Chain A
Amino acid sequence: MKHLLKDILHKASKVAQSAEVFMFASEETPVAFEANRLKSLQSKESRSIALRIFKEGRIGFASCNKPEDIDSLVQAAVETAQFGAPANFELPAPAAFPYVEIYDPEVEKISLERMISLGEEMVSALTDHTPEVLCEASISHNSISIIIANSSGLEASYSKSAFSVGIEGTVIHGSDMLFVGESESSCRPVRDTTNILNTVRRQLDWAKTHARVPTGKLPVIFAPDGVASALIAPLMAAFNGKVVLEGASPLGNKLGQQLFDKKLHLYDDATIAYRPSSRPFDDEGVPSRRLPLIEAGVPQNFLYDLKTAALAHTRTTGHGVRGGGLPSPMPSAFAFNNGDVLLDSMIADIKEGLFIELVMGATQGNILGGDFSGNVLLGYKIENGRITGRVKDTMVFGNVYELLKNITAIGSDGKWLGGRLYAPSIYCPAVSVSSK
């Protein structure tokens, strides 16, 4: 790969003032269970080569996965550079990268047979608990490697391993459907499924009976998955340097102000060991670091890549992320502080309210303004300090900025969700709820 990289850089440097090559390769092996049975095994390999050039003051970009046709790649980058955005920054020179543990050779050693038996164990544990549950499970390992080089002399690479285990269960009675599930991922093998199974069994237990909540303002505990599905999208947009630069972020001119509850802290951290979201440098070759976003309720920083930082007259924070095209500022992993209140004590504190695990459709509204509104796909009524059953036909509605101004408690049950978010339960004193 390195030979090819230098070859492309050499060819591009002949026709452009600056050039950068980013190469990505991945191998993934997912094992899938459907309807409680092993359904498929897959192996997927994929690679891509991206070229960014500065030519006559403009940015050109092209990508391909054909190492045998790099002339076309260079030509396409030159073609786009005629119309590209102004090249207002310099490609980074070599730098010292933090040591981030993200590779474990044990991951590749887990056999297909072992992955299959992990799935079988999970399915049989859940069908023992609830015979009518139909499970879909997935066990997957993958490895990726990244190389970046540019005409400022930078050349850097890393390899990362990842292992993920997840299970979703469906229980149907007439037209009443219940969806439960949990997953875990790590750069090391996930060998123990106890936590996953305990969570799903608890969901199944709590959803056995149905309950109704009234329409109105109620105390609500958002479980970590509830935080992820209802509250996070607006914050991810608001801390994006690009949104700030455009003046569309509600936090734009409010760094240093007490906007959120003092109990709330939020970091973006790409250096946590063995997290699939971690990496020593971003997709532009800028060193990773732990960046405070909210400290004691006060916004501290925004996320920048090279180009956005140059436009905003600031420095990149190492958050240039590629999603197939040019880099753009994106979180690596949002991590809230864990709280000190047990979930049970939060529930015990509520006379009538909701515990919400999953909201559907909350991110379809006016995200930039902080509004969310969605259907409670998995949530339970709390009555006199106890969970009394699953609620249905219920919507929650609110504004993240208003809600997080005043938090009753933060749970001690923080966990990683989907690889890019660490969140505890958050207990809000009054949230708008509509129900039938």
Chain B
Amino acid sequence: MPHIEDAVKELASKLKEHKANYLEAHLEDSVSSYITYRGKVLESIGKSASMGGNIRALVRGGWGFVSFNSLDNIDERIKLAVKEAELAGKGESHLAEIPITVVKARPHSRSNPVDIPLAHKKELLDGYNALIWNTPKLKTSNIGYGDSYKKSTFLNSEGSFIQQERSDMTLGMSAIASDGNQVQQANLSLGNPGDFSAMQNLDDAVKEMAERALGLLAAPQAKGGEYTVVLDPILAGVFVHEAFGHLSEADFVYENERMRELMVLGKKFGRPELNIVDGAAVPDLRGSFKYDDEGTPATKTYLIKEGVLVGRLHSRETAARMGEKPTGNARAVSYRFPPIVRMTNTYIEPGKTTFEEMTADIKEGVYARNWYGGTTSMEMFTFSAGEAFMIRNGKIAELVRPVVLTGNVFETLQHIDAIGIDLGMNQGGGCGKGGQSPLPVSNGSPHIRIRKCLVGGK
């Protein structure tokens, strides 16, 4: 079977020979390792190695896509992709212009976390698990650690040739407490682009998590209804990702006249203090890279500037169709999928309000922290806090059970009336879209205050 290097050479000459408006190829070689614990014991440990690639063809606006594990018969696969695109294409092809880029990877430009001895990783996790189990009344716990390292090669029929390396690391923990009648849990999720030292020295956070699960057993359920809500940087980051980030993805907008009207640039979305950014060019985060999966250089894109919609996230196709600039947001979770418009590092820029100022005039509100998850239907969003406190007469009061917050995106963005000074990035989540999950992203925000937010409860 041919090696990747041979396949690359063959592709470089063959991609230009076929009659398609555009052709591209991705080849990937990756390794990963993982360790999981359930309860007091290590549950599984494993290593994986994967190689594969894909060919994508564009003919008259229709796409063909062929993915494979074997590097044999590359020419046949190109022909199949072109044939598929011909069958699908009945209109015109549009791709925004990007520079032709030739970048050969410097070997080991990124460290490979999979090479760190399993013994080191296990020792660290054993320590965290022991800390979790120092807490009484725990029913069980989960720890999931994973890391990966990927070398990718991108080629297209325009002559671009880009090699990149990518490292990723995630650590998720949960503690589950029970008093016999009910069960409560607390989570901690972390991630980074391959830096093992960032996973060390987390003892305080781990202890706090286990104690939080225990504390929730005694906590009452918040009464459902509309509240003024203060979100911590982690939850506000999930909010900006879910509530606004997905709406900024141009693939939902470009072929939909009514969405184009709704998301017209220049429209006011929030108060003048509100600035929202997405960008893979923001360095050293899980959503950072130099070139996206169509070879477009990474950017830092303002989505909302001073409350006004000024940009959105594009692939080459959506940018061309909307007459806007490509932003480098075409990403695929692996060679098994074509690139689609995705977020990278998405955050609300810091404002001027301190936490004390934010809560001072709230008579009865909710302070929601941490996260379980979130999802969106574009218009409506829901996101769930990992812990919540009532705010009473300007002070943080009693702990309540974790709350689910929901709302209408357009109204809620208008209702953000205070933005904190303390930007924090959350790298513990992965994003899912179109069956592609989890894609490494980061999101963040300072503390924010939202008026009239619907909180689920009894």
Minimum CB–CB distance from B408 to chain A (whole Å) comes to 7
- Once A134-B255, A364-B383, A366-B401 are accepted as A-B contacts, the answer to whether A377 and B377 lie under 8 Å apart by CB is yes
B458 contacts the other chain (Cβ, under 8 Å)? Answer: yes
- What separation, in Å, do the CA atoms of A80 and B114 have in the docked complex? 12
A40 partner residues in chain B, CB cutoff 8 A: 62-65, 84-85, 88, 338
B45 contacts the other chain (Cβ, under 8 Å)? Answer: yes
B160 contacts the other chain (Cβ, under 8 Å)? Answer: no
Minimum CB–CB distance from B363 to chain A (whole Å) comes to 20
- Once A83-B119, A248-B140, A366-B184 are accepted as A-B contacts, the answer to whether A326 and B456 lie under 8 Å apart by CB is no
Give which listed residue, A76, A85, A172, A366, contacts B49 with CB less than 8 A: A76
- What separation, in Å, do the CA atoms of A215 and B223 have in the docked complex? 12
Give which listed residue, A60, A85, A364, A397, contacts B374 with CB less than 8 A: A364
- Once A83-B122, A369-B183 are accepted as A-B contacts, the answer to whether A364 and B373 lie under 8 Å apart by CB is yes
- What separation, in Å, do the CA atoms of A436 and B225 have in the docked complex? 8
1/0 per residue, CB under 8 A from B, across A346-366: the answer is: 000000000000001100111
Give which listed residue, A34, A175, A393, A434, contacts B457 with CB less than 8 A: A434
- Once A173-B258, A175-B262 are accepted as A-B contacts, the answer to whether A361 and B375 lie under 8 Å apart by CB is yes
Nearest CB to that of A170 among chain B residues?
B256
B46 partner residues in chain A, CB cutoff 8 A: 61-63, 80, 325-326
Which candidate, A15-23, A44-52, A335-343, is the interface stretch facing chain B? A44-52
B87 contacts the other chain (Cβ, under 8 Å)? Answer: yes
Which candidate, B66-74, B350-358, B418-426, is the interface stretch facing chain A? B66-74
Q: Is there contact, CB below 8 Å, between A434 and B91?
A: no
- Once A364-B384, A374-B456 are accepted as A-B contacts, the answer to whether A85 and B41 lie under 8 Å apart by CB is yes
A65 contacts the other chain (Cβ, under 8 Å)? Answer: yes
A85 partner residues in chain B, CB cutoff 8 A: 41-45
A206 contacts the other chain (Cβ, under 8 Å)? Answer: no
Minimum CB–CB distance from A254 to chain B (whole Å) comes to 12
Minimum CB–CB distance from B391 to chain A (whole Å) comes to 19
- Which of B87, B375, B406 lies at the interface centre, i.e. has the most chain A CB atoms within 10 A of its CB? B406
A210 contacts the other chain (Cβ, under 8 Å)? Answer: no
B91 partner residues in chain A, CB cutoff 8 A: 37
- What separation, in Å, do the CA atoms of A326 and B38 have in the docked complex? 13
Q: Is there contact, CB below 8 Å, between A80 and B118?
A: yes
Q: Is there contact, CB below 8 Å, between B48 and A375?
A: no
A246 contacts the other chain (Cβ, under 8 Å)? Answer: yes
Q: Is there contact, CB below 8 Å, between A434 and B456?
A: yes
- What separation, in Å, do the CA atoms of A132 and B261 have in the docked complex? 14
Q: Is there contact, CB below 8 Å, between B64 and A42?
A: yes
B14 contacts the other chain (Cβ, under 8 Å)? Answer: no
Residues 385 to 440 of chain B near chain A (Cβ within 8 Å): 401-404, 406-408, 410
Minimum CB–CB distance from B411 to chain A (whole Å) comes to 9
A82 contacts the other chain (Cβ, under 8 Å)? Answer: yes
A436 partner residues in chain B, CB cutoff 8 A: 226, 454
- What separation, in Å, do the CA atoms of A132 and B454 have in the docked complex? 30
- What separation, in Å, do the CA atoms of A34 and B256 have in the docked complex? 10
Q: Is there contact, CB below 8 Å, between B374 and A375?
A: no
B202 partner residues in chain A, CB cutoff 8 A: none
B382 contacts the other chain (Cβ, under 8 Å)? Answer: yes
A151 contacts the other chain (Cβ, under 8 Å)? Answer: no
Minimum CB–CB distance from A132 to chain B (whole Å) comes to 8
Nearest CB to that of A434 among chain B residues?
B224
Minimum CB–CB distance from B400 to chain A (whole Å) comes to 12
Could you count the A-B residue pairs with CB atoms below 8 Å apart for me: how many are there? 233
- What separation, in Å, do the CA atoms of A35 and B252 have in the docked complex? 9
Q: Is there contact, CB below 8 Å, between A434 and B402?
A: no
A236 contacts the other chain (Cβ, under 8 Å)? Answer: no
B43 partner residues in chain A, CB cutoff 8 A: 85
Residues 144 to 201 of chain B near chain A (Cβ within 8 Å): 176, 178, 182-185
- What separation, in Å, do the CA atoms of A420 and B373 have in the docked complex? 23
B18 contacts the other chain (Cβ, under 8 Å)? Answer: no
A248 partner residues in chain B, CB cutoff 8 A: 139-140, 176, 178, 183
Q: Is there contact, CB below 8 Å, between A368 and B176?
A: yes
- What separation, in Å, do the CA atoms of A175 and B379 have in the docked complex? 7
Dominant SS among interface residues on chain B: strand
- Once A242-B38, A247-B140, A374-B456 are accepted as A-B contacts, the answer to whether A361 and B382 lie under 8 Å apart by CB is yes
A72 partner residues in chain B, CB cutoff 8 A: 49
Nearest CB to that of A38 among chain B residues?
B88
Size bracket of the B interface: 35 or more
- What separation, in Å, do the CA atoms of A361 and B239 have in the docked complex? 13
B183 partner residues in chain A, CB cutoff 8 A: 248, 250, 366, 368-369
B339 contacts the other chain (Cβ, under 8 Å)? Answer: no
A428 contacts the other chain (Cβ, under 8 Å)? Answer: no
- What separation, in Å, do the CA atoms of A374 and B84 have in the docked complex? 40
- What separation, in Å, do the CA atoms of A34 and B434 have in the docked complex? 12
B51 partner residues in chain A, CB cutoff 8 A: 65-66
Residues 158 to 206 of chain A near chain B (Cβ within 8 Å): 170, 172-177, 179
Q: Is there contact, CB below 8 Å, between A44 and B67?
A: yes
- What separation, in Å, do the CA atoms of A34 and B63 have in the docked complex? 11
Give which listed residue, B39, B45, B372, B382, contacts A61 with CB less than 8 A: B45
B80 partner residues in chain A, CB cutoff 8 A: 43
A112 contacts the other chain (Cβ, under 8 Å)? Answer: yes
- Which of B85, B224, B410 lies at the interface centre, i.e. has the most chain A CB atoms within 10 A of its CB? B224
- What separation, in Å, do the CA atoms of A271 and B374 have in the docked complex? 35
- What separation, in Å, do the CA atoms of A4 and B67 have in the docked complex? 22
B456 partner residues in chain A, CB cutoff 8 A: 373-374, 395, 397, 434
B182 partner residues in chain A, CB cutoff 8 A: 369
Residues 230 to 289 of chain A near chain B (Cβ within 8 Å): 242, 246-248, 250
Residues 393 to 436 of chain A near chain B (Cβ within 8 Å): 393, 395, 397, 432, 434, 436
- Once A40-B64, A434-B225 are accepted as A-B contacts, the answer to whether A375 and B382 lie under 8 Å apart by CB is yes
Minimum CB–CB distance from A30 to chain B (whole Å) comes to 9
Which 6 A-B pairs rank lowest in CB-CB distance, beginning with the nearest? A361-B382, A35-B255, A246-B140, A41-B84, A364-B384, A373-B456
Q: Which chain B residues have a beta carbon within 8 Å of chain A's beta carbons?
A: 1, 34-36, 38-39, 41-52, 62-70, 80, 84-85, 87-88, 90-91, 118-119, 122, 139-140, 176, 178, 182-185, 224-226, 255-256, 258-259, 262, 336, 338, 372-384, 401-404, 406-408, 410, 454-458
Can you list 21 A-B contacts (CB < 8 A)? A38-B62, A40-B338, A41-B62, A42-B66, A45-B70, A62-B48, A63-B46, A80-B47, A82-B118, A82-B119, A83-B45, A83-B119, A85-B44, A176-B379, A248-B139, A360-B377, A360-B406, A361-B383, A393-B407, A393-B454, A434-B224
Q: Given contact pairs A73-B49, A172-B262, A215-B224, enumerate 17 new A-B contacts (beta carbons under 8 Å).
A: A41-B63, A41-B64, A41-B87, A46-B69, A59-B44, A62-B47, A63-B46, A65-B69, A85-B42, A113-B87, A172-B258, A179-B377, A246-B140, A365-B384, A368-B185, A377-B380, A392-B408
